[in-house]
A and B are shown apart, each in its own frame.
Chain A
Amino acid sequence: MKYFQTFIKYKYLLSNLIGRDIKVKYRRSILGILWSVLNPLLMMLVLSAVFSALFGMGGRFGGLNVPFNIYYLTGATIYNFISEATSTSMMSVYSASQLIKKVYIPKYIFPLEKCLFSFVNMLFSLIAVFLVMIFSGVDFHLTMFLMPVPILYALIFSIGMSFMLSALTVFFRDIIHLYGVFLTAWMYATPIIYPIGILESRPKLMFLMKFNPMFHYVEYFRSVTIYGAIPNLKDNLICLAFSFGMLIIGVLIFKNRQDKFVLYM
């Protein structure tokens, strides 16, 4: 109850900080929004060029039943969202040390703010997804109205992970570098730039994939966006378990450590 009241009290600070980030990124450079759309598109073009040169087959290979472009872009949207949210959050508490040492402020505001800002960026990058869907002739299904569901799962997961990482970064500054490596590994460990069909012939890898939350969010997102399928109850429960499991771990670590932050800044 008390936590809820403090949150309400600092709601305006939260929106103020997000507003400032948005202003810096979008208003001060005209290219801001354009970059959020162009960046994934350019990356997509590079990858399709490489893969169709390697494998040919007009952009469909490895048993894909949708064009590679949109397959990649949907996966990258979710991956980029989680990786941007968590890696910007990571430094957020430590960077706010001047503020934290001077005024009372709920410290979780900082990672939460970065997650919500990345969420806004992700919404802009959805424009790229829609554009590519139109241009590559992918059918629009009614299941698209379920797109908020996997996005929300990914957001909750990111917030939990950000709480954990931002708290640990205060004590161990070098995990920032480790996390960069981890993120790269995580991308290759998830079927984003390669077709999921490659994994299906390898039961061991497919089994390991069950423990990769990114895999579940990416597949859920693809299902409702481009496959026109509604994930079943089990898929939802798995996503929920990962999201809320991570959130609980993150909150516990953050809560446990936050009183010690000022001693390490």
Chain B
Amino acid sequence: MANAVEIKNVSMRFNMAKEKVDSIKEYIIKFFKRQLLFEEFMALSDINIDIEQGEVFGLIGLNGCGKSTLLKIISGIYKPSTGSVKVNGTIAPLIELGAGFDMDLTARENIYLNGSVLGYSKQYIDEKFDEIVDFTELHQFLDVPMKNYSSGMVARVGFAIATITKPDILIVDEILAVGDFLFQEKCEKRINELMSGGTTVIIVSHSIDQITRLCDRVAWIESGKIKMIGKADEICALYANSAK
């Protein structure tokens, strides 16, 4: 079977914020003092993963080990410092929901704005508008500026817009923890719908139960390197035990 995502020798290097040179003045001063040492930080080093079409793949690891960074590289938000990522098909990244929301605008306006940020056309949003609003269950707040929303309500709108397309590859970064329990159930149901019918899924979660339940295979990442990769239940058991 063809691979949906091929990650080859991917490394990601960030400049550390404490020595950021962001003006010509500093650059020249540092240059003459020969201080132009960029403190570098390897967020990911030499990652190799092939993800098959239709597979549900999990990423686990401690805070700051590089999971979100890897998802952002797969989604094209970051370019890896070295290595390459090949993606076959359309991606719906559920990474940072509601990017580009303008809190002074109403939910109605924001649905169009955020939709366009995700690359939807006006026609498409027109078509799906009712479906999005139905999912959020916020009909009576539709024309209220979003600065008057609770954070859960904002999350609902973000989730509803992002999940309105059926992609080939779905990328989920710990977004199942938003909203009240009713909405969480609804979100899981929506994600299960999206996962059915051969969609490839890459999922990050700190809930080991959830990963074991959903995933076929799992990669355990430790300080930017793959520690282990294999069957979900085996890797999850090892990961859970490592804490003890």
Please tell me if the beta carbons of B24 and A262 are within 8 angstroms of each other in the complex.
Answer: no
- Is B120's CB within 8 Å of the partner chain A? yes
Instruction: Rank and list the top 9 A-B pairs by shortest CB-CB distance, nearest first.
Output: A259-B79, A174-B23, A102-B99, A102-B96, A13-B116, A104-B76, A16-B116, A103-B99, A12-B116
Q: Given that A12-B120, A103-B117 are contacting pairs, would A173 and B77 also be in contact in the complex, using a CB cutoff of 8 Å?
A: no
Q: Contact partner of A103 among B79, B93, B121, CB < 8 A?
A: B93
- List, in ascending order, chain A residues with CB within 8 A of B117's CB: 13, 99, 103, 105
Q: Contact partner of B15 among A99, A172, A263, CB < 8 A?
A: A263
Q: Given that A12-B116, A172-B24 are contacting pairs, would A99 and B75 also be in contact in the complex, using a CB cutoff of 8 Å?
A: no
What is the bound-complex CA distance between A39 and B185, given in angstroms?
A: 56
Please tell me if the beta carbons of A10 and B20 are within 8 angstroms of each other in the complex.
Answer: no
- Is A171's CB within 8 Å of the partner chain B? yes
What is the bound-complex CA distance between A10 and B77, given in angstroms?
A: 15
Q: Contact partner of B112 among A10, A16, A104, A264, CB < 8 A?
A: A16
- List, in ascending order, chain B residues with CB within 8 A of A262's CB: 77-78
Closest to B105 in A: A20
What is the bound-complex CA distance between A36 and B112, given in angstroms?
A: 28
What is the bound-complex CA distance between A46 and B96, given in angstroms?
A: 51
Closest to B119 in A: A9
Closest to B109 in A: A20
Please tell me if the beta carbons of B77 and A102 are within 8 angstroms of each other in the complex.
Answer: yes
Please tell me if the beta carbons of A101 and B77 are within 8 angstroms of each other in the complex.
Answer: yes
Known: A20-B102, A99-B100, A263-B14. 17 other contacts (CB 8 A): A12-B122, A13-B116, A13-B119, A20-B113, A99-B99, A99-B117, A101-B77, A102-B77, A102-B99, A102-B100, A103-B99, A104-B93, A105-B117, A171-B22, A172-B24, A174-B24, A175-B24
Please tell me if the beta carbons of A174 and B77 are within 8 angstroms of each other in the complex.
Answer: no
B residues at A contact (CB < 8 Å): 14-15, 20, 22-25, 27, 75-79, 93, 95-96, 99-100, 102, 112-113, 116-122
- List, in ascending order, chain B residues with CB within 8 A of A101's CB: 77
Question: Which positions 90-123 of chain A face chain B at CB distance < 8 Å?
Answer: 98-105
What is the bound-complex CA distance between A102 and B117, given in angstroms?
A: 11
Closest to A172 in B: B24
What is the bound-complex CA distance between A175 and B25, given in angstroms?
A: 10
User: Which of A103, A105, A172 gathers most chain B CB within 10 Å?
Assistant: A103
Q: Given that A10-B119, A12-B120, A99-B117 are contacting pairs, would A264 and B99 also be in contact in the complex, using a CB cutoff of 8 Å?
A: no
26 contacts between A and B (CB under 8 A): A9-B121, A12-B121, A13-B116, A16-B112, A16-B113, A16-B116, A99-B99, A100-B77, A102-B96, A103-B77, A103-B93, A103-B95, A103-B99, A103-B100, A103-B118, A104-B76, A104-B77, A172-B24, A173-B23, A174-B24, A174-B25, A178-B24, A259-B79, A262-B78, A263-B14, A264-B15
What is the bound-complex CA distance between A100 and B77, given in angstroms?
A: 7
- List, in ascending order, chain B residues with CB within 8 A of A175's CB: 24
Q: Contact partner of B22 among A98, A103, A104, A172, CB < 8 A?
A: A172
What is the bound-complex CA distance between A101 and B79, given in angstroms?
A: 11
Question: Which positions 233-265 of chain A face chain B at CB distance < 8 Å?
Answer: 259, 262-264
Q: Contact partner of B96 among A103, A105, A173, CB < 8 A?
A: A103
What is the bound-complex CA distance between A262 and B77, given in angstroms?
A: 9
Closest to A106 in B: B119
What is the bound-complex CA distance between A263 and B43, given in angstroms?
A: 12
- List, in ascending order, chain A residues with CB within 8 A of B27's CB: 172
What is the bound-complex CA distance between A241 and B119, given in angstroms?
A: 34
> How far does the Cβ of A181 sit from chain B's closest Cβ, in whole Å?
13
Closest to A100 in B: B77
What is the bound-complex CA distance between A105 and B117, given in angstroms?
A: 7
What is the bound-complex CA distance between A108 and B22, given in angstroms?
A: 21
User: Which of A100, A102, A171 gathers most chain B CB within 10 Å?
Assistant: A102
> How far does the Cβ of B117 sit from chain A's closest Cβ, in whole Å?
6
Closest to A259 in B: B79
> How far does the Cβ of A98 sit from chain B's closest Cβ, in whole Å?
8
- List, in ascending order, chain A residues with CB within 8 A of B96's CB: 102-103
